[in-house]
Each structure stands twice: as structure tokens, then as C-alpha cells.
Amino acid sequence: MNKPVNYGFPTKCLYGNQITSSCDNTGAISFPIYQSATFAHPGLGNSTGYDYSRLQNPTREHLEKVVCSLENGYDALAFSSGMAAIAALMELFKPGDHIISGNDLYGGSIRLFDNINRKNLIEFDYADTGRDDITSYIKPSTKAIYVETPTNPMMNVTDIRKTAAIAKEYGLLLIVDNTFLSPYFQNPLDLGADIVIHSGTKFLGGHNDTLAGFLVVNSEALSEKLRFIIKTIGSGLAPFDSWLILRGIKTLSIRMERQEQNAIEIARWLQHNPKVRNIYFPGLPTHPGYEISKSQSRGFGSMLTFEVEDAETASLILSRVKLIRFAESLGGVETLITYPMTQTHADVPQAERERNGITDTILRLSIGIEDIDDLIDDLSQALQ
């Protein structure tokens, strides 16, 4: 019998909690791509366990089991993108429901909340979930607290245990976007969260070659609700993309270690550059979330935001970098630099951006696995 085993994290990246799969008897080391839309039945009332790939596909199922094991969850669901996962999640709520959300989120999440979910009469209040008294936002219609930690792009840290205790006291769902740290460095379900979100495009995939999203839940009830939603709206991840993410996850632990090591070195180097005003990286002891990060995470990740002296300097850096690419997205093996004001947060109202500190002098780095000296040399020439 293929019983689940509690493997260490690097082993889980390869197999999840089960070495073999019941749907494959070929001995293939690389899990097969089941590129089939539909599956035949042996007879009436008799199924192989697979009917139609919108409902479930063996490749997607295997990926979901791996991701579920990494987050220590009850179930994981794989979607066609991170935003597809969040959009499906919002279908748990009905008109009149109220959600308390972090105020410094990925711009696409804010765009969804403000333009789609509000249209459907779901109410939002944005709060600094790392500093504000969350209880002051709670009202009878409140159903959930939604946080990113660290946040995108200002790297604010929320105390997950403390927020989970508030959610439990008031009977609310706690939803945590764990994209920036990945399950290698942080497991929000273990800290009391109910639902974890990942843009699988980022660190889980790790190679900037496909889109994916995940919801990982801590209960059968949430699993059943979301399984109904994913099969109904049809946003499940395709077989080939599932395979690409499976392949990426195999090296997750190795990549995260190297990327964090590079990020710490770059953060320290930036501290000594006269054109850099501020560095937002939880791995620096001067960061206000440093102690909380140490208490709830196993590392600080490789996302780093910094502020330069003026907009002209920011523009020059973006035009001068050579090895580092000026591009959106994050989490891949290649180092990318992003200008949040016109890229990831372009659809966020200017007043709200500026209130969160996102100005024309802010740059975000997603640090990859390149040689650290090469990265520093590139930043040095770009900051001249």
C-alpha cells in the first residue's frame, strides 16, 4: 500500500509525501504529461477516477499533491494563473460580505478587488495588517482577513500567528499570499491561516516559463467548496503547464537558498551606495519586521525593494542594467528589476500608491541564482 510518508522538504519537492502514483505503472522518473481532455470509463458506474480534465487530470493532481505536502495542507488546487486562483477564491463570498485586506498588495490583486469584486458587491477595507489594530475594521459582515507577507513591493511583514488568533476569535477566514517566501521559507497554515495563495509562476515554477496559481486549504469543507468552484468555472491548470511547475519545484529548495544568499549580499552592498536612500528587505536587522520574520519564517527570501535619490536615477538604472533584466514578474532563476509605479502597480490609484510608499524612486529586485559578483558589478555600473 502506498502510505504517505513525512519526508524532509527537499524530498517532498521531488515526490510529495508519496513516492509512487496509483495512475502510473510505467516506472517513469519524470511524471507523465497526460495530455488528454477526456478519459474512457470501463463500464457504467465504473470510473478510473478521471473523467474530464476540467474536473481533474493526473498530471495536475500529482502537482497538487506535491504542493499540498510542501504547505502541510489538507488539499491544494492548481489554477491557470495566480490571478485565476484569487478570482476563484473570491467566489467563496457573496454580495454584502466584507473583507479586510492588506493595503500593500500586488497591483493585480487590488485591481481584481476594486474593479471586479466590488462590482459584485463584496466590500473591502484596506489596512496596514502589520501595524493597524485589525479588530477596529471588523464588523458583522466581515468574513475574511487577506494578507501578503512580505508585501509586494514594500516588503512589510505581518505577524501571521497574531492575525490568525484574531481571525479565530471572530470566526473569520485568514487568507495568506505566500508567494514571496514560498513554502520553503514559510508555512502560513502551520501558523493558523486557513488558505494559502501562491502565484506558481514565481518561485514554485522558478524559470519564468509558464503561468500557474495555487490555493492550499486546511480543511475538507474549504476543499469541497473550492473543488466545486474550479470545476464549474474551468480555471484548472493544463497538463503541460502542470508538468513544467512539477519540474520547477524539484529544485525549489536549492534555488531558494542560493537566491536568498545573493539577496543578503546585495542588500548589504546597497547599504553603502550613496545614491540609495532606503532598502526594504526583511533580512536586514534594521527592517521593522526582522524579528517577526525570524519567528515565523525559516528565511527572508530574495525579494528586495530599494529607493534611490530621484526619479532620474531610477530611470538611468533601468536603462543601464545589462545582466539584470528590466522586466515584470519575479521568483525565477534570472534576476529581474521592476518599476512598480508603471508595471506591477500601474492600475493602483496614484494617491494609494504614494500612501504605501510606491513612488517614482522605488525599484524592486527579484534576485536570481547568478554569480553574486556579476550581479553586484552590474548594479555598480548602473548606479554610477
Active site residues: 54, 106, 177, 202
What residues contact 136, with CB distance under 8 A and at least 6 apart? none
d(CA 41, CA 39): 7
CA 382 to chain centroid: 29
E-strand stretches of the chain: 75-79, 98-102, 123-127, 142-148, 173-177, 195-199, 213-217, 276-280, 303-308, 325-326, 336-338, 362-366
C-alpha cell at 305: 525593494
Neighbours of 37 (CB within 10 A): 9
Say if CB 88 and CB 79 are below 8 A apart.
yes
What residues contact 132, with CB distance under 8 A and at least 6 apart? none
d(CA 130, CA 162): 10
d(CA 330, CA 313): 22
Length of the chain: 384
- Pick from 184, 186, 142: which is nearest to 167 by CA? 142
What residues contact 354, with CB distance under 8 A and at least 6 apart? none
What strand order describes the sheet that includes 195-199?
A: 75-79, 213-217, 195-199, 173-177, 142-148, 98-102, 123-127
Coil, strand, or helix at residue 197?
A: strand
Coil, strand, or helix at residue 173?
A: strand
